Amino acid sequence: MLRMSRGGIGRLGRLAVVVVLLDLAIVSGVATHLAGGRAEGALLGATATDDPVTLLGTRLGETGCPKAPLAVGEGLTVVCPDWTAIVSDGGRVQVISLYGPGDGTVDTYRAVLPQGLHWGDSLTEVVAAMGQPKRITSAYQTPTLVYMFRGLPYGALELRFSRGDRLQRINACLER
């Protein structure tokens, strides 16, 4: 017969929790070491339930998303299943890009978009809802609206539209 001392079941439960947490810490540390990095900064999720826009300005931590050097300039491109980021050479997240249906870069970002936008909003609907943009370009052969902000995680939103005049990509930028 197993005899438990006073508080034995409670003590056993606390001990089990401590052992599990230590195991997780050890496994995480070994995995980080084997991957050649060290954990610091924000943990970047790769699921649509995360809000990657809130990562602007934070330091890049460990992520399962592939990283590659920028083709132009210093820094990294991080490619997650449904968003991408540009990270400065110092590790700070500078730009988060969200993609709509038909973009083809990554999967469609399905979580809530900034400023109440929705994939497929027309150019006219966006201007009616958000006002006149700071700048309108067609640098990418399709209309692109640039809005500037203060007091938000992003200093600017670059809204790119498809050839059919529908919202297809959002670049949230830290830089003002």
> Would you state the structure tokens that stand for residue 28, as one six-digit string?
């995480």
pLDDT in tens, 40-67: 334 444 443 478 998 899 887 777 899 9
Report how far residue 74's alpha carbon sits from residue 90's, in angstroms, rounded to the nearest whole number.
Answer: 9
pLDDT in tens, 65-79: 999 999 888 899 999
The answer to whether 103 and 161 are in contact (CB under 8 A) is: no
What are the extents of the domains in the chain?
Answer: 1-39, 43-173
The angle formed by the CA atoms of residues 79, 83 and 84, to the nearest 5 degrees, is 45
> Would you state the structure tokens that stand for residue 62, as one six-digit string?
């460990």
> Would you state the structure tokens that stand for residue 3, as one six-digit string?
């005899």
Note the pTM of the prediction, 2 decimals.
0.69
C-alpha distance from residue 92 to each of 8, 23, 59, 116 (Å): 48, 30, 4, 26
In this predicted model, which residue has the larger pLDDT, 9 or 17?
9
